[in-house]
Amino acid sequence: MTTTIGYIVGSISSTSINRRLAKAFERLAPADVVLTEIPIGDLPHYSPDLDADFPQAAKEFKTAIEQADGVLIVTPEYSRSIPGVLKNALDWAVRPYGEGVFNGKPTAVTGTSPGGTGAALAQQHLKTILSHLNAPTLGQPEGFIQSTPDLFTEDGEVTDPQTAAFLRGYLDAFVALVERYRVPAAG
């Protein structure tokens, strides 16, 4: 059975190293695991004023999360937390009240930074948010990836075999979590 993973990149930078990391997961995924980006760059700023008339981009964003078996979030660390664009996207995902799409959705959180902590503090903040949203989140392994300039090529090739093996193991662990939460088909 195919496992569908939607991934969110928490950076809208045209030169994002986290996008490269996300592409690395796409390349490393086994044939029965399909990774597809859930874009956040076109989402307007969230405001409760828009709850009654949700913008199309926000509707599509929520539907993509609903349809994925699991959601992988690959994010940079900004000021020891997550970037505002990612928080904005999560705010869309949980509104209108009672119609959040992360409830029960298996998630995993990873990211990369040139800094020695590998975006760890952003990931910890994000796990706190996801816990509040009642989204089961991969605990181990932790995905703190320190980038060097040539670690990932633009199309996601991983130049260091040890890192590639780690990322493949990380993805396998997430797929196992997703499968544990899969609702059996009726009948």
Contact positions toward ligand FNR, by CB under 6 A? 11, 13, 16-18, 76-80, 113-115, 117, 119
**Closer CB to ligand FNR, 11 or 137, in the complex:** 11
- Compare residues 17 and 158 and give the one whose CB is closer to ligand FNR: 17
CA distance 88 to 75: 13
Q: How far is the CB of 83 from ligand FNR (least distance, A)?
A: 7
- Least distance to ligand FNR, CB of residue 35, Å: 17
Is the CB of 149 or the CB of 184 nearer to ligand FNR? Answer: 149
How near is the Cβ of 36 to ligand FNR at its closest, in Å?
Answer: 19
Contact predicate 23/29, CB 8 Å: no
Tell me the C-alpha distance between 26 and 5, whole Å: 10
**Closer to ligand FNR by Cβ: residue 90 or 122:** 122
CB of 184 to ligand FNR, least distance (A): 37
Long-range contacts, stretch 82-85, CB < 8 angstroms, 24+ apart: 82/10, 82/122, 82/125, 82/126, 82/129, 83/10, 83/11, 83/122, 85/10, 85/11, 85/12, 85/40, 85/41, 85/43
